[in-house]
Chains A and B, each alone.
Chain A
Amino acid sequence: MPVNYEQLRTQMKDAGKTLRLRHDAFSRAAEQYEKQLLAEAGSGTLRERLETALADKSETRCALPMTEAIDAVHPLPPMPPVQIRLLACDGSQISPSRHDEISFGLINAAVIEIITHSGKTPRIITRTKLLPFDDLPSENLLGVQRDAAEKRFLAETAAAAGKEIPVFALCDGPLELFTDTPDMKDQDLLKAEYLEALSQLARSRIPAVGYIDRPRSDPVLRMLDLLRGKGDKESKNIGADDSMIFSRLLGPGERSAIFGMNSRLNRELNDEMKLCFFYLNIGKAGRPYICRVELPAWAADETIADMLHGVLIEQCRILGGHPYPFILHRAHECAVVTFAEKEEVKSMLLREMAANGLTPPEKSNKQIAKDLGIR
């Protein structure tokens, strides 16, 4: 038996007590942060004080108030059955493994297009790329390559789509590309490629939208910390994030104000392209569920945000009791490379090796032993 349940039994008792204490501390912190947000929203000096605080700590990653009050709550707008062209992209990869018969990498990206209220069958396009054998990437680099490939594919497909109706280009996860692994080569190139994809969407006047399910980021808390003049160590220790405020502030279907962001990327981008975000409660009464929605500053006006707000809620409702945008889940389903598909691609490669007079190699002994199964 691999797990020593006897040893775990006492640890579980302690864990239960710890979790109770964390929960109580979390609730206290949430209440304090909510009070502070509401108080700051009414302060006429909010922006000025934040600017002063940021002058000393310009690197602090935090939210920035935009034109509306930071405690603004937008109810679910009316959702007339209008057609909206939704595109969503997701990707997956086969990571090279030295234990396989042959070490190879592959990126698979899928775009799905749904025209809401059209009655039309959604369109699915996939793009699969076998990576060059002489330059197989690390796991981290492959993830960034995949992100960049997804955004490029989405931008190209969206730019070519009809603009006779409103269009949104959705991604699962943040719009920001995180490439800060120190040893990662080509990251500047990939970042440039990534930003070009976002620019292409902006030029086509198609809002790029990042949808983050169960976000764990805390830019609004960090903004409030800055305004208070100190960081809150306790809130970090208990896993506090912005959801703790907005799950109290937002009712079902409501969204928050749109915030700007003080981030390294935004400091590099022009004003139109800077990334903004709002929070959205897709949960039910008494069971809030907060997600975070990112979009570029040029699209952060009330008309576009309301349309996006409505269509995201509509998409989430398709999945009933566990709301999540239908189109994003389908993009994931279309992009994911299954184990069977990986095996098929590997077989194709091995056949090609044989056709070129090479003896197909075997798996590593370690892998062969693992494949025997575990008891």
Chain B
Amino acid sequence: MEEKYSYIGRMLSANSRECVVSALTPQNEIPAFGSMLRIPMGEGQPEIYGVVTDVTLEEDGFLRQIAGSADISEEVIRDAQENRNVPIVIRVAFIGYMEGDKVLHLLPPRPPVTLTEIYPCTNRDICEFTRKLGYLRLLLNITNLPAGELLAVHLRLTAKAHVQMGDSDWAQRAVEEIMELLSGSPDGLIAVMGAIGDAELF
């Protein structure tokens, strides 16, 4: 059955490699670190795919003031968690795009415009986009966080989607691809494989 789509936030800023998205707490579940999102650019335009590389729950002075109080009642905590519009800022690294039915594991030709809606990927989206593994090269090139940690979580989430869609060998192929990509960098390979080992993919 096709999962229901609903956007999780809107884009605040972007460059050719990544974008920053603002989501609101109460409306939706917070997208997980390493999970995949898609950014439709409109009719006749490519649909960009990305991976969540950071999630920041922004504080404000009011929350800071409450947090400093000795006793916080359950009502106040529930109000803060369920009612207050505390912005969540999500950083998304681009891993390619789709032009029609064609998957391209390349950085998008141009970034999306501000306030574009961002959607979570369904299992079908994930499997279609990651059937070929070229996009892993883009993930390995991310330099502002430990690539191994991101890859481990991403592979765990993506492998689960493939298993649910009937492909139980995807994780094996993905790990082999990473080993191939890092064959010229023994130190990098050791770090990444150490993290992937903890993901318990097999």
Residues of A within 8 A of B (CB): 114-122, 124, 317-322, 326, 329-330, 333
Question: Least Cβ distance of A117 to chain B in Å?
Answer: 7
- 19 example contacts (A-B, Cβ-Cβ < 8 A) are as follows A114-B79, A117-B73, A118-B74, A119-B75, A120-B75, A121-B83, A122-B79, A317-B69, A318-B69, A318-B72, A319-B69, A320-B65, A320-B66, A320-B68, A320-B69, A321-B68, A322-B65, A326-B76, A333-B62
* Given known A320-B65, A321-B65, A329-B62, contact A120–B78 (CB-CB < 8 A): yes
CB-based closest 9 A-B pairs: A119-B74, A121-B78, A320-B69, A122-B79, A320-B68, A121-B82, A319-B65, A320-B65, A114-B75
A-facing residues in B73-132 (Cβ within 8 Å): 73-76, 78-79, 82-84
User: Could you tell me if B68 and A318 are in contact, using CB atoms closer than 8 angstroms?
Assistant: no
User: Could you tell me if A318 and B84 are in contact, using CB atoms closer than 8 angstroms?
Assistant: no
CB nearest to A86 among chain B residues: B75
Question: Least Cβ distance of B64 to chain A in Å?
Answer: 9
Point out the residue from A118, A119, A124 that lies within 8 Å of B83, measured CB to CB: A124
A-facing residues in B13-69 (Cβ within 8 Å): 62, 65-66, 68-69
User: Could you tell me if B69 and A122 are in contact, using CB atoms closer than 8 angstroms?
Assistant: no
* Given known A115-B75, A318-B73, A318-B76, contact A122–B68 (CB-CB < 8 A): no
Residues from chain A with Cβ under 8 Å of B72 in the complex:
318
Residues from chain B with Cβ under 8 Å of A114 in the complex:
75, 79
A115 to B78, CA, bound (A): 12
Interface size on B, residues (CB 8 A): 17
Question: Least Cβ distance of B85 to chain A in Å?
Answer: 8
The winner among B72, B73, B74 for most chain A CB atoms within 10 A is: B73
Question: Least Cβ distance of B134 to chain A in Å?
Answer: 39
A118 to B75, CA, bound (A): 7
A121 to B82, CA, bound (A): 8
CB nearest to A317 among chain B residues: B69
A320 to B61, CA, bound (A): 12
Residues from chain B with Cβ under 8 Å of A333 in the complex:
62, 84
Question: Least Cβ distance of B65 to chain A in Å?
Answer: 5
Besides A318-B66, A318-B73, 14 new A-B residue pairs in contact (Cβ under 8 A), listed by A number: A114-B79, A117-B73, A119-B73, A120-B75, A120-B78, A121-B83, A122-B75, A122-B83, A317-B71, A318-B69, A319-B69, A321-B65, A326-B76, A333-B84
A326 to B69, CA, bound (A): 12
A247 to B69, CA, bound (A): 24
The winner among A115, A122, A329 for most chain B CB atoms within 10 A is: A122
A318 to B65, CA, bound (A): 8
CB nearest to B67 among chain A residues: A320
Question: Least Cβ distance of A94 to chain B in Å?
Answer: 19
Question: Least Cβ distance of A313 to chain B in Å?
Answer: 13
A333 to B66, CA, bound (A): 15
A124 to B82, CA, bound (A): 11
Residues from chain A with Cβ under 8 Å of B84 in the complex:
330, 333
CB nearest to A322 among chain B residues: B65
Point out the residue from B68, B73, B79, B82 that lies within 8 Å of A116, measured CB to CB: B73
A333 to B65, CA, bound (A): 15
Residues from chain B with Cβ under 8 Å of A119 in the complex:
73-75, 78
Question: Least Cβ distance of A206 to chain B in Å?
Answer: 20
A326 to B75, CA, bound (A): 11
The winner among B62, B65, B68, B82 for most chain A CB atoms within 10 A is: B65
A120 to B71, CA, bound (A): 16
A318 to B62, CA, bound (A): 10
* Given known A116-B73, A119-B74, A318-B73, contact A330–B79 (CB-CB < 8 A): yes
Residues from chain A with Cβ under 8 Å of B65 in the complex:
319-322
Residues from chain A with Cβ under 8 Å of B79 in the complex:
114, 121-122, 330
Question: Least Cβ distance of B151 to chain A in Å?
Answer: 37
CB nearest to A334 among chain B residues: B83
CB nearest to B79 among chain A residues: A122
Question: Least Cβ distance of A213 to chain B in Å?
Answer: 15
A14 to B75, CA, bound (A): 50
A114 to B80, CA, bound (A): 13
Residues from chain A with Cβ under 8 Å of B75 in the complex:
114-122
